Structure formats: structure tokens, C-alpha cells
Amino acid sequence: ALTAGIVGLPNVGKSTLFNAITKSQVEAANYPFATIEPNVGVVEVPDSRIDRLVEIVQPKKTLFTTFEFTDIAGLVKGASKGEGLGNQFLSNIRLTDAICHVVRCFEDPNVTHVEGSVDPIRDIEIINLELVLADEQTVDNRLSKVERKVKAKDAEGIAEKAVLDKIKAALAVGKPARSVELTKDERNLVRGFQLLTMKPMLYVANIAEEEINDPKSNPHFNKVVELAASENNEVVAISAKIEEELSVLDKEEKDMFLQDLGIGESGLDQVIKASYAMLDLCTYFTAGVVEVRAWTFKKGMTAPECAGIIHTDFEKGFIRAETMSFEDMDTYGSEQAVKEAGKLRLEGKDYVVQDGDIMHFRFNV
């Protein structure tokens, strides 16, 4: 499973957010395949399309698809030089696929700030610098190894050095590796190094409870939005405190509370959706009377590859996929009506599955 690591300076609200995640965690009985570990929270990916499918199909069972968050122990200035939990911290991030960077935007004199004042831009720079410094070490190590191959006129070595040089130049001016434009081949050459600043990143701005229905009233938040835009990153505003309160409520109570707050969707749900999207993840559905279920796939995957997510036999014996879009199902109101409207498609092995497709795989056993 793909996982997003939650990082940020101490006292910004990471644990509060992570507590909300673990309290919202899926029930192991329904999701036996989900790994349950203390520093990992597995949550359902909210999707209103499921509610509509359940209404139409009336299945016995409903399963959402899931997403995983990993709590990364606190980072401090100097981590890349081994300060605090430094190296531990960095190797934990290396194992994640994306980064949720929590920044403090709430003012509260009772909560001390490690840097003495609330200043999210400075905080972001501290963390991002540590990640850049760690990547510089990785790149330098690799460059010294590749040197020999370059001397031996090894083509792959020469190509690798060229990419590493490009990345090194960006890091040297404090820019993340993800800001470097690379071809697919170049990307593959450096994939194995797990560069921290190559991972997609989302900013999670922790604002005060009373600002939740109007984040723009918080000037710190606005600065984070501006910075994120310049880096092509997304920002989600949350109140970690509110999320913790929401996480212990059942669905009905939660909806009422959200209505009281004047917001449509909880911050955590927005974080889950944004994290899912930043990894280019999409959802297809299987919809039968036994079970309506959402499945995660990576954008660009073909029908047999998507079938393989359910079971490897489905991929090996793939014949075709009876496919309809969620929109058609929604419009026509039943599978039968979709068929009668001529909107059911038979897709072959080259079909690239689209987000929202409802799939019925045909396969040989």
C-alpha cells in the first residue's frame, strides 16, 4: 500500500492530526488486508460515488478503498547532521511515497513554538532545507560511486551522472529534486535513490478552530497558500483540534457537527483526498449485489493490470472487461438501463481504465 508520511516541526499539531487518523481508522474486521501498526493509520478514502452506487445496487456489503498515513517522529533543525532523531527521521521518510507537511498557522500563547514565534514560512524552510541537505548527501554518495563508470565510458553511468548533476544543481540553490524537469528515462535512473525532495508534497495548514469556516482570515495561512502556489504544491487547511473531536463521532453526528461549523467536508477527508490525488491515484468500482467496492489504481493502468489488483488470476486469464462509467450509472439509474442505452462497453487488454469506471472482469481460470 502507498503511504504518506506526516512530517513537521515539533508542536505544530502532527500528533493531534495523527490521533484523529487512528481514531478514524478502518475496522480490521472489514479490512483484514490493512496492516495495523502503531505508527500507521489506515483510513477509508471518502467517495460520494459509493453512496450513490449503494443506493442503486443495494449490496450486502460496502467497501471503500483505503489510504495509509505514517507518523514520522519529530524533526528538528540539524536533522540531516544527525541532530535529534535526525537520521532515523530521514530514513523513515525515505520509506514513504508522499509527504504531508504539517505547518502551524494557529496562534496560542499556551503552546510554545520551538522557534519562538508562529511563522509557517520559516518553519517550512527549516524542514525543506533538512530534506534538501539529506538529498545532497545521497546525491554526492552516488556521484562518487558513478565516477568509475564514467571513466570506463559506461553509457548508463554517464547518463546517471548527467541526471545527478542536474539534481545537485537544484539542491545547491535550495530547490527540491521534484522541481527538476526529467524525462521518464531520467526519472527511472534515479528512482532507486528514494530522494526525499522527489516525493510529492502537500502542505497541511493547522489553523485555529474559530477560523475553520474562513481560513483566509488567517494571514499565516495565506502566506502558505502563496508559497505553495509558487512551488506547484497543494495546501489543505485543517484544525487538528476539530479533527480530533470529529474522529470519535459516528457519521450522523459528524455531519451535524460539520454543518454547525459551516463546512462541507472535514479537513481530514480533504487531506486524504489530496494525498490520494498527489500520488496520481484513481478509483474504479466493482458493483454487484454481494458487494460494492472501490479499488485504487495508478493513473494509466490498463484493464488487465486493474484486474490484477483484485486477483493475479484475473490478470493472467483476462479476456475483457464490461465497463460503464459512474456518470452513466448515475444518469440511467441501473445497470440494465445503462445497457439499454447502449452505454455498456466491452473493453480489451489495451484499455486504459478511467477514474470512476465500473468494471466487470471476464477471465479464464
Phi, psi of 52 (to 5 degrees): -65, -40
Minimum distance from CB of 176 to ligand GDP (Å)? 22
Residue ranges that bind ligand GDP, judged by CB under 6 A: 8, 10-16, 74, 106, 108, 111, 206, 208, 239-241
Place of cell 526519472: 187
Closest by Cα among 320, 323, 330, 236 to 285: 323
Say whether 348 counts as a known binding-site residue. Answer: no
For residues 103, 109, 110 and 113, what is the CA-based torsion angle, rounded to 10 degrees? 40
User: 42 or 240, CB closer to ligand GDP?
Assistant: 240
What phi, psi does 352 have (nearest 5°)?
-90, 115
- Please name the residue ranges forming H helices in 173-324: 184-191, 219-231, 240-246, 251-261, 267-278, 303-310, 312-316
Least gap, CB of 104 to ligand GDP (angstroms): 8
| Ligand-binding site membership of 16 (annotated) | yes
**CB 103, min distance to ligand GDP, A:** 10
**Of 55 and 245, which has the nearer Cβ to ligand GDP?**
245
Q: Is 42 annotated as a binding residue?
A: no
Distance CA 225, CA 212 (A): 15
Q: Under DSSP, is residue 5 helix (H, G, I), strand (E, B) or coil?
A: strand
Instruction: Compute the least distance from the CB of residue 197 to ligand GDP, in Å.
Output: 21
| Dist CA 277 CA 170 (whole Å) | 25
Considering the complex, what minimum distance in angstroms separates the CB of residue 254 from ligand GDP?
Answer: 18
Closer of 67 and 106 to ligand GDP (Cβ):
106
Which of 112, 232 has the CB closer to ligand GDP?
Answer: 112
Check the annotation: does 15 bind a ligand: yes
Residue placing its CB nearer to ligand GDP in the complex, 14 or 293: 14
Q: Least distance from C-beta 207 to ligand GDP, angstroms?
A: 7
Task: Report d(CA 42, CA 72) in Å as an integer.
Answer: 15
- On whether 12 is known to bind a ligand per the annotation, the reply is yes
* Residue number, 34 or 240, with CB nearest to ligand GDP: 240
| CA 200 to the chain's CA centroid | 8
65: annotated binding-site residue?
A: no
C-alpha cell at 42: 489506515
Closest to 245 measured CA to CA, from 278, 264, 224, 268: 268
Going by the annotation, the residues of the binding site are 11-16
Q: Which residues are annotated as a binding site for ATP?
A: 11-16
